[in-house]
Amino acid sequence: MIGAGAAGLAAARRLAEAGARVDLLEARDRIGGRIHTRRREGWPVPIELGAEFVHGRPPETFRIVREAGLLMDRLPDSHALLVRGRIRESGEFFDRMMRVTSRMRSRGPDRSVADFLAGQKKLGSDLRAYFRSFVEGYHAAPLEKASERALSTAGEGPPEPGENDQFRIVDGYDRLAEWLLAKAGKEVTLRLSRVVERIEWKRGRVSVEVRRASGGPTERVEAKKAIVAVPLSALKAPRGAPGGVRFDPEIPEKSLAVSKLETGDAAKVVFLFRERFWEEEGLLAGCEDRFDFNFLHSRRPPFPTWWTAAPAEVPMLTGWTGGPSAEKLLAESDATIARVALESLARLLGIPLRPLRSLLEECHTHNWRTDPFSRGAYSFTGVGGVSAHRALSRPIAGTLFFAGEATDPDQSGTVAGALASGDRAARELLGPG
């Protein structure tokens, strides 16, 4: 098993329950992959630097949460939109976005979201701008690369009840990862800080070339079968790049699938303040629902989206930007990213920077783009790539099996998709019965 993120852990648990012995190789010095939870002594809630939300009600995630006895909060459906300098309160943000995606083509030749929008002459300027921000932020996708067909909801009708609900695991997303590993038990041998560089394979035999993260000679791990549960970016990385994984012999059908999928960029900054100042001063102070504030969406770069820890009453704000804006910003240092985020927040709320800075206790961020084992945030479908997720997921010669959020055609880019893919890959490896 290669990769101890959500997909790899889900697969390892499933295999262990079936009695299989599993060597679990992980390049990082921790499990969880792009789940990265940080805790601060004396701070009432965990700080999520990677995955944070449970989108909708995915059965894969809810089943684990229930079995593990984890507590989840349902987030308030409160989305404040900044329109022409004024706050417009809305609990129908995703419904607004569906007004656009329902116009997209779901069949026939694919094209970019940018090309789609260029033909929508009657689309209002505000909705057009927010949809652009939605694609770049929520999907972390540049409009010129994102697939129209992949985002289309044409003919789907209104969302099912609860489909747009959002949740947060109260004690941290890492508790889910820890529980999966614990359930796998002694059947799984976890090897951290093991960087897989090459996978030699033939039917019925796999030899994995591994190097310790600290350096030194390579090691070899032998198996009859292997599940590859690494991020898409590890498969797309140039030969010899840190964190890149290559196959020997190469697998042309996987290379083709990978070429149709992309890894998006996102920058996330978590600010811890001494008090919930936004309730008493600045742009939000005059809002009737200011005490229920959850998400704030604007058209103002570089950080157009912010959210609180709601429903928890904590003086914490998280800034988010994705797509081209994030790509440019992530070339800077963490300190610069934090400074830019705080300046963006001050402008957005109409609060002078100096008093805002005086209220700041701590700032937390993680640059997933420069992280060699992620090389970006999460996957999105490129133009012409609607079938690429399934192609990437297909087993090879009954020997190599593939998992990870990019291999799930229905929930790519999410932890739920990663969990589902891990279960699917484990079932494929175990075979009928």
Q: 197 lies in a domain?
A: yes
Using CA atoms, how far apart are residues 189 and 296, in angstroms rounded to an integer? Answer: 44
For residues 119 and 60, state if they share a domain.
no
- 246 closest CA partner among 257, 236, 260, 259: 236
- Same-domain check for residues 349 and 387: no
For residues 68 and 201, membership in a common domain is answered with: yes
**Are residues 338 and 193 part of one domain?**
no
Residues 179 and 158 in one domain: no
Q: Residue 314 sits in a domain of what CATH number?
A: 3.90.660.10
Q: Is there a domain that residue 153 lies in? A: yes
The CATH number for 185's domain is: 3.50.50.60
* CA atoms of 404 and 395, how far apart (whole Å): 13
Count CA atoms closer than 13 A to 251's CA, side-chain side: 26
Domain boundary, last residue among 139, 166, 193: 166
Does residue 68 sit in the same domain as residue 97? no
Instruction: Give pLDDT tens digits for 384-394.
Output: 999 999 999 99
Asked, for residue 314, whether it belongs to a domain, the answer is yes
The token duo for 44 is: 């009432």
Same domain as 193, residue 105: no
The token pair at 377 is 């945030």
Residue 357 shares a structural domain with residue 211: no
Q: Hey, how many other C-beta atoms are within 10 angstroms of the C-beta on 190?
A: 17
Q: Determine the Cα–Cα distance for residues 58 and 418; give it in Å rounded to an integer.
A: 11
- Residue 136 counted as domain residue: yes
Given 365, 395, 420, the domain boundary residue is: 365
Whether residue 212 lies inside any domain: the answer is yes
C-alpha 201, offset from chain centre: 30
Tens-place pLDDT, residues 83-107? 877 887 666 778 889 999 999 999 9
Give the pLDDT score at 286. Answer: 79
Q: Tell me how far apart the alpha carbons of residues 302 and 305 are, in angstroms, rounded to a whole number.
A: 9
Look at residue 95 in the predicted model and tell me its pLDDT: 85
Q: What is the DSSP letter of 51?
A: -
Residue 178: helix, strand or coil by DSSP?
A: helix
CB 248 within 8 A of CB 199: yes
Residues 277 and 341 in one domain: yes
Whether residue 157 lies inside any domain: the answer is: yes
| Same domain for 235 and 155 | no
**How far is the C-alpha of 1 from the C-alpha of 433, rounded, in Å?**
21
| Domain end (from 166, 182, 216) | 166
The answer to whether the beta carbons of residues 273 and 317 sit under 8 Å apart is: yes
In a domain, 84, yes or no: no
State which residues form the domain around 359: 74-78+264-365
Note the pTM of the prediction, 2 decimals. 0.96
Residue linked to tokens 């932890």? 415
356 within domain boundaries: yes
CA 392/CA 406 separation, integer angstroms: 8
Are 347 and 384 within one domain?
A: no
Mean pLDDT by 10 residues, the chain (433 residues): 98 97 97 98 96 96 98 92 79 84 96 97 90 94 97 89 92 98 96 97 98 93 98 94 94 98 98 96 83 87 95 96 95 98 96 96 98 97 98 98 97 97 98 77
Could you give the number of structural domains in the chain?
3
State whether 348 and 270 are in the same domain. Answer: yes
